[in-house]
Structure 1
Amino acid sequence: MARPTKALISKSALRHNYKVAQSLAPDSNNLAVIKANAYGHGAVVIASILEPLVPAFGVACIEEAIELRQGGISKPILLLEGIFSSDEVEIAVANNFWIMVDNSQQANWVLNAKISAPVKVWLKVDTGMHRLGLQPNQVNDIYLSLRASENVYDDIILTTHFSSADEHASSATSNQIAVFNQTKLQLQNCLGKNDVIPCSLANSAALLAFPETRLNWNRLGFMLYGNSPLDQDNEASKSLMPVMSLKSAIISIREVSAGQSVGYNQSWTATRNTKIATVAIGYGDGYPRSAKSGTPTLINGQRAPLAGRVSMDMITIDVTDIVDVKLGDDVILWGAELPVNEIAEFSDTIGYEVLTRLSSRTPSILID
């Protein structure tokens, strides 16, 4: 016997989403971003499924990359936040990790390292997000220094990150593309017209919505897991298939009279005679505590709203209108028929956060 809470991870949906990306950018290298435990889906598991398909992976830091190597993953791994100390350069060389360089200190660590083989470098430009990256006027000197060093492979990838590619009405992405293109042109003039500068612009949102960003390398994150990052879906984003279905089951059913309250702090009060079901899932499992009353769940293909506050181990839902509901019935918290983005809206957050907060207490089960 076991608690019924579980996350079902679909291998076929994951492969499908990667193929959607490939169909949008067939001439690009499409890197799979599996930071933050593969957005809550299980980094080693996801990497194992994708390794035959992808040219490389991306993670936030060297600890995440080492976990993949210990899990048997052999493809190159890009450290998206770069390195945090000089000794990480040697570790990167030993493990075929690629290094993102986004400031002069990281560049100097690479240049001054005593290493037995060169390392592959990505060079990030701050084109307007103002979080990480070199200023455009720094790029030429640092790029040329890295390229001249025996510590670095010649094919340095020039990259940036978009702040607002998910917002269809924003001009920010077009502005950032213009800054990037001008920066690349200035670098090209320093190198000579025959020198090729490989580039990476597209994250998930840009890949889906901005065809001009589909260059040598794309970085697939949220869309890989079957969820749209866009504020207005297009044909491609609608074709994505959620990889995770979070499920549990009803463990109690009771009748509550009109005027009675349910759960902590009596935040929800019945306006009619109501049938309340208790479900074995809570914020201790990763279900968002901020989910409001009215947040939908699915039982037997029918929607049942959250009634009362999310507690650590349980939620209560209104099943008055669900036909033939009974103890043990499966409850879907999010999945193919109930997008995680919808749950996020009811919780005043985004789907990224909902997924990455999944608890280690919630077992993941692979399905075809």
Structure 2
Amino acid sequence: MQSKHSNFSYLWLSFLISSVGDWLYKLAIPIIILNKTGSAYHAAATFGVSFVPWVFFSLLGGSLADNYDKKKILISGNLFATLVCLMLLEILSAQESNFSLLYAAILLLASVDPLIHPSFQSIIPELVRPEKFASANAIIQTIDNTLSILGPLLGGSIVTMLGGRTALWLDLFSFMIASLALLGLPRQKKTHPKKGAGIFLQLMNDIVEGAKYSFQQKVIFSGSLMFLFTNFALNMFEANFIFYMTKSLHYPVLDATFAMSLGGCGALAAGLVGDKIVARFRAGFLLSNSTILAGLSTLLLLLNTNYIYIGVILGLISFFGNINVITYFTLRQRTIPKKLLGRVVSVTLMISYASIPVGSWLGGSLLEHGQPMFTVILLAGSIRTLAGIGAKLSPLGKEK
């Protein structure tokens, strides 16, 4: 029999592979759009629209996670993403940009994550022991954050030398390989969901139950509201980063991605020490204060436009942001019953991600209408700081 540790290895290996592909996708899409149209609005909109499905499908994803085989959900999601990525490549190969088809394909591809992410998060407690939850989350964040260093450099080099379409082909293959890695996960316990029309009623009842439970848990709900404002502020800037660096500041793509890589160093540091910090401080204290510090750090971007300076400040922001993520994920896993965890994950994600398209759209619109990036950064840093202060005064800040 395989140990729980080896079972978890298949999960993080799949996550590593698919995350490499995600970085190529994140860089390729805005660069392709900017090269074709030069429009900050469309570049930001394609980024923001990819988060719209989180609002509509997160609850369904949570119900699926709590009722069906999580392993099959994860594999099916990656295979579906492979097909949609193929369709996206075909759309981008056209000479004229068809934004209706482009947005539709991006929405379809983006729909995979909210449907499978609750299964990804809620399968972790089945693969590791409770005392290892923080370590498991730190491993996932360390992978994510290591790639936030290497991903921009690798992706930027591939996009610059081989083109955006090549990067998207590699993204497609990453979904296929990730599916193969997931085959190593243990079989899930058999479930007996209802059939026919009963499936719909069961899913709806589960969604309602998960939503009620999430809203009643004031600490968890306060955390999701904090992330609602944090994500709004973060994505006002993040969705427009490539435009800011390449069009406003006139840096080459490799300099822009180098700054992103420097930012990833802070995220990596958070992944390496996150479990120790979580063990030492109260979750409410960490979540509120790290949000305030991330907001204040964002305002430091107003002081200098040197790409190395920008990268260092991004590292500071991402350090506090990733301490947030590790702390909140661990808090959910420790306090929510396993049978409800998938649905609670989906509800909190739906709330916290709902503001991302709005923040992305607002940032892009401000730039499109002649506002300087100074305005976007000032708003983003101020809103994030206020979100942390609000969290400190909420039930989350009083959590013991």
Query: Do they fold alike, i.e. is TM over 0.5?
Result: no
Structure whose CA Rg is larger: 1
Between 1 and 2, higher relative CO (CA 8 Å, sep ≥ 6) is seen in 2
More helix by share: 2
Normalised to the residue count of structure 1, the TM-score between the two structures is 0.20
